[in-house]
Amino acid sequence: MAQKGILVTGGAGYIGSHVVQQLTAMSHRVVVLDNLSTGFADAVIKANLVVGNTKDSELVRNLLKEYQVDTVMHFAAHTVVPESVANPLKYYANNTCYTRNLLECCAAAGVKYFIFSSTAATYGIPSTPLVTEDTPTAPINPYGTSKLMSEWMLRDLSQASNLNYVILRYFNVAGSDPTGHIGQSTREATLLIKVACEAAVGKRDQIYIFGTDYPTPDGTGIRDYIHVEDLARAHILALDYLKQGGQSTILNCGYGHGYSVREVLDAVQRVHGHPLKIVECSRRPGDPPRLIAAAEQVRGVLGWQPQYDNLDFIVKTSLDWEYKLLARG
């Protein structure tokens, strides 16, 4: 019998490509579906890349059949919060409606396992700094809402079918593949470590701190940063968990502790060996003072043990990748 396939949507993007690299290293049969709007074809290593969109039902159905797919890992999404506020329907179309289309195709094809890329943005501004999976969901922007609506659809489909799922709610993903094969190539990035490393190599003139008067030790916001390779590993373990009969579940993906904006920028300057030009600005609306994952569940349920829980290492892999991108021109 032919090996069952894994469909990875958005597998040419930042997180998806790191997961694909780990899957193919384990000899899984992988097909990537990506429209390359934010992904990169050369980030797909040792897997078949099909350029297309999850809204294309015929294409999705054909891929599920051709590769005898029993597992879908769904990363394809728009992810820029300010853009979601300015253009909400774009996010509800791509992140929600197209996910519904994908799920319909999965249901018709009898897909058994579904791993969904979700976000801590589903929690909005939680009342406590440590966020558990039971913390009420109350997203404050269309990006978070579009992801939460997809979670609900997945939950309801699972209850009405034989599809089981793991929803992984990411906190602040950072870093790049330590071997240097792939990395975070996102255009017009908004994530702090990526942006700071771009400033370090001269792609940006300066770096901004939004808010210096938060009730935190140094006045700047604190976030839980997780290395992309550790996050990718959580997806591999989620697949193992489901195939061993695990029940559908939602898990936070973070390290369980955080760093302030100043601590992150200090780390970038320390690893880079040169100062950054830092500009202090007022707070942005909707930014909580602290956002840290309660990470016991992902460790307990999946047996996940992070390897790269070190801020300087996260920064180094980010900086190494920025130099590589700079050399490419």
Predicted confidence (pLDDT) per residue in 280-291, tens digit = 999 987 788 899
Instruction: Provide the strand spans (E) within the chain.
Output: 5-9, 29-34, 48-51, 69-74, 113-119, 130-131, 164-170, 172-174, 207-210, 222-223, 225-227, 249-253, 259-260, 278-281, 290-293
Backbone angles phi, psi at 68, to 5 degrees: 45, 55
**Mean pLDDT of all residues in 23-27:** 96
| Higher-pLDDT residue of 55, 127 | 55
The residues near 53 (Cβ < 8 Å, ≥ 6 apart) are 33, 35, 59, 76, 98
Residue range 90-111, pLDDT digits in tens: 999 999 999 999 999 999 999 9
93 alpha carbon, distance to own chain's centre: 19
Q: Annotated catalytic, 14?
A: no
Spell out the domain ranges in the chain: 5-174+225-253, 192-224+256-291+308-328
The confidence score (pLDDT) of residue 8 equals 98
Give the model's confidence band at 188: pLDDT under 50 very low, under 70 low, under 90 confident, else very high.
confident
Percent share of the chain, pLDDT over 70: 100
Same CATH fold assignment for domains 5-174+225-253 and 192-224+256-291+308-328 = no
Inform me whether the pLDDT recorded for 128 exceeds 90.
no
Q: Whole-number mean pLDDT of the chain?
A: 95
For residue 196, what are its two tokens?
């700071």
Using the predicted structure, report yes or no on whether residue 1 has a pLDDT greater than 70.
no
pLDDT confidence tier of residue 328, bands split at 50, 70 and 90: confident
Pairwise pLDDT comparison (188 vs 74), residue with the higher score: 74
Across 117-125, average pLDDT = 95
Task: Find residue 72's DSSP bridge partners.
Answer: 7, 114
Residue 5 has pLDDT above 90, yes or no: yes
pLDDT at 182 over 70: yes
Tokens found for residue 83: 């853009």
CATH class, 192-224+256-291+308-328 region: alpha beta
State the residue for tokens 């940063």: 225
The answer to whether 167 touches 161, Cβ cutoff 8 Å, is: no
194-222 average pLDDT score: 96
Cα–Cα distances (Å) from 260 to 185, 218, 292, in that order, read 24, 8, 11
pLDDT interval class at 22 (50, 70, 90): very high
The one catalytic residue in 98, 143, 165, 225 is 143
Query: Do 8 and 33 touch, CB atoms closer than 8 A?
Result: yes
> Is 156 exposed, middle or buried, given 0-12, 13-18 or 19+ CB atoms closer than 10 A?
exposed
Mean pLDDT along residues 129-140: 94
Calpha distance 112→36 (Å, rounded): 27
Per CATH, which fold does 5-174+225-253 belong to?
Rossmann fold (3.40.50)
pLDDT band at 147 (very low <50, low <70, confident <90, very high): very high
pLDDT value for 135: 96
**Who contacts 213 (Cβ-Cβ below 8 Å, separation ≥6)?**
219, 283
Q: Report the percentage of the chain scoring pLDDT > 90.
A: 91
